[in-house]
Amino acid sequence: MGVVTALVRSSFLVDAEYARSARDHGLTEQQGQLLCVLMSQPYGMGELGAVLGLAKSSLTGLVDRCARNGLVHREPDPRDGRAARVALTARGAAVAEEFYAGTHRRIERLTSGLTEDERRTLAGLLGRVVLDNEVPIVFKEMDEGAAAPG
């Protein structure tokens, strides 16, 4: 299998597991992404739109739905009195942690047929592709502290 075919097919595989995990936690995939991004810190709407790749109207709807479900809330931005930041509620933080841990376990199982050396090699190569293409951090390392989207 060539690299392009392998990457595309593996993206479908990971997306399917991510979607199942979201459903198991009563979330949509986009809600899960939002919660994972907000695990590190609150963000302004402009920053969230850039990280999640969403237009303002789509992001507003996503944040509104999560707010109605008690997962996030808007708070004043201390640097700009006209702006608001989006932050996790206590319930949202708990759901985010459960969703994150469950999703991590599911996706980690996809590589269960690889040796530790193969897993390290795969992680190193994929990590280079991600970094070279400046993919925003929407899913942090399991053992990382607060990782800021970049």
Instruction: Establish if 109 belongs to a structural domain.
Output: yes
Q: Are 71 and 31 in contact (CB under 8 A)?
A: yes
DSSP 111: T
Structure confidence by residue, pLDDT tens digits, 133-147: 988 777 777 654 433
Could you tell me if residue 137 is inside a domain?
no
Q: Is residue 71 part of a domain?
A: yes
pLDDT score, position 139: 76
pLDDT in tens, 34-85: 999 999 899 999 889 989 888 988 999 999 999 999 999 999 888 877 888 9
Note whether 45 and 55 are within 8 A (CB).
Answer: no
Residue 66 maps to a domain: yes
What the block records as the tokens of 121 is 């090699």
The CATH number linked to 35 is: 1.10.10.10
Domain annotation covers residue 150: no
Has residue 140 been placed in a domain?
no
Total domains, the chain: 1
Question: SS3 helix, strand, coil % of the chain, rounded to 5?
Answer: 60, 10, 30
Q: Is residue 6 part of a domain?
A: no
Give the global pTM.
0.81
Owning domain of residue 75: 13-132
146 domain residue, yes or no = no
First vs last Cα of the chain: how many Å apart? 32
